[in-house]
Amino acid sequence: MAIVAGFDVDGARITFDALDSESGEVSRGRIDATPAAVARWTERFAGRAIDVAVEACTGWLFVCDALVAAGAVAHLAEPVETRALRGRKRRAKTDREDARWLRGLLADGRRALLRARALRPVARSAS
């Protein structure tokens, strides 16, 4: 995986944490929670493989659809399982920490993640 990222979707914004697995560079920030903003975010990594972990909460579907449309692989994280893997909270939870945690789960290949592409219903033609 060239780019491994975690997206924490929270209403009108997405907090991201992205690791370039080749250079080791980490980038963090926020983007608008819109398909256009997700597409612009993926454009910065043009020509590279992009894998993004997204927690299955409000807004995950449009985010995963936008990632897949832009050529990235979206991985859906089950919230209950990601919480169980994290264990007891020792400090306040933040969007930034959640994005980093999701990226770490994806990079480590944890089982709490599923490919969102496989979860999308197949479009049927009208007969």
Is 127 inside a domain boundary?
no
Q: Is 110 inside a domain boundary?
A: yes
125 domain residue, yes or no: no
Most confident of 31-40, 53-62, 97-106, 115-124: 31-40
Give residue 34's Cα distance to chain centre.
14
48: CATH: 3.30.420.110
Q: Is residue 79 part of a domain?
A: yes
Domain that holds residue 98: 3-119
- Under a CB-based contact definition with an 8 Å cutoff, are residues 106 and 67 in contact? no
Residue 126 within a domain: no
> What is the maximum span of the chain, computed from C-alpha positions, in angstroms?
56
Q: pLDDT tens across 23-67, in order?
A: 999 999 999 999 999 999 999 999 999 999 998 788 788 899 999
Query: What pLDDT does 87 receive?
Result: 63
pLDDT bin (cut points 50, 70, 90) of residue 109 is confident
Residue 87 lies inside a defined structural domain of this protein: yes
pTM of the prediction? Answer: 0.81
Total count of domains within the chain? 1
